[in-house]
Amino acid sequence: MADPLDAVLHLSHLLGQEARLVQPGGGNTSIRVTLAGDGGEPVEALPVKGSGTDLRTIGPEGFTRLSLARLAPLRHAESMSDAEMMRFMAGCMLAEGPAPSVETPLHSLLPHHVIAHTHDVATMSLTNVRDATAERLVGELFEGGIVYVPYVRPAFPLDQEP
């Protein structure tokens, strides 16, 4: 069976090559998988594009592999500084790799198997307006087929939205 990360790598490269979809180095992709833990036991994991990597050129080593079980307490955390969040996520890593991006917890909290988010010009033209207008426009255009997350400062406040 093929490595499920291969499909996310392919998706990442396709997104990263399209400048209208992704600013250089921007955007994020992730997939939920089962990996072997330190003792060989199965661990539910989230490989997610690491901070400082580029969707155009990312390889398997550019994904940070985190334990979904260890990330789960973020759902109930009331506050956390950016530094605290980064230390917390470092403790969730299953192997050496790039630092997790500030958007990683949001990927872990959304219930989808694969997530690809971009900062594309078309979406920004719909969403860089007053929140009520943006949410209405997105709802009308996509008929509930996508998740709308109102803008908040990246890092911990963003991760509290789902």
161, amino acid identity: E
Indicate whether 142 belongs to any domain: no
> How far apart, in Å, are the Cα atoms of 89 and each of 65, 85, 112, 143?
10, 6, 20, 34
Query: If you average pLDDT over residues 49-78, what whole number do you get?
Result: 91
pLDDT at 31 over 60: yes
Indicate whether 64 belongs to any domain: yes
Which parts of the chain are beta strand (E)? 28-31, 33-36, 42-49, 63-67, 114-117
Indicate whether 36 belongs to any domain: yes
Query: If you average pLDDT over residues 54-60, what whole number do you get?
Result: 92
Are 66 and 46 contacting, i.e. CB atoms less than 8 angstroms apart?
A: yes
SS3 of residue 67 by DSSP: strand
Q: What is the pLDDT of residue 61?
A: 95
> How far apart, in Å, are the Cα atoms of 109 and each of 12, 62, 140?
20, 21, 25
Instruction: Give backbone dihedrals phi and psi of 45, rounded to 5 degrees, phi first.
Output: -130, 160
Indicate whether 73 belongs to any domain: yes
SS3 of residue 47 by DSSP: strand
Which parts of 26-135 are beta strand (E)? 28-31, 33-36, 42-49, 63-67, 114-117
Q: What is the pTM of this model?
A: 0.77
Total count of domains within the chain: 1
Q: Which among 61, 66, 63 has a CA at the least distance from the CA of 94?
A: 66
Q: Which among 119, 91, 94, 113 has a CA at the least distance from the CA of 28?
A: 119
Indicate whether 125 belongs to any domain: no
What CATH number is attached to the domain comprising 90?
3.40.225.10
Residue 126 binned pLDDT confidence (cut-offs 50, 70, 90): confident
The residue segments making up the domain with residue 64 are 4-119
Indicate whether 159 belongs to any domain: no
| Distance, CA of 112 to CA of 110 (rounded, Å) | 6
Indicate whether 132 belongs to any domain: no
Indicate whether 28 belongs to any domain: yes
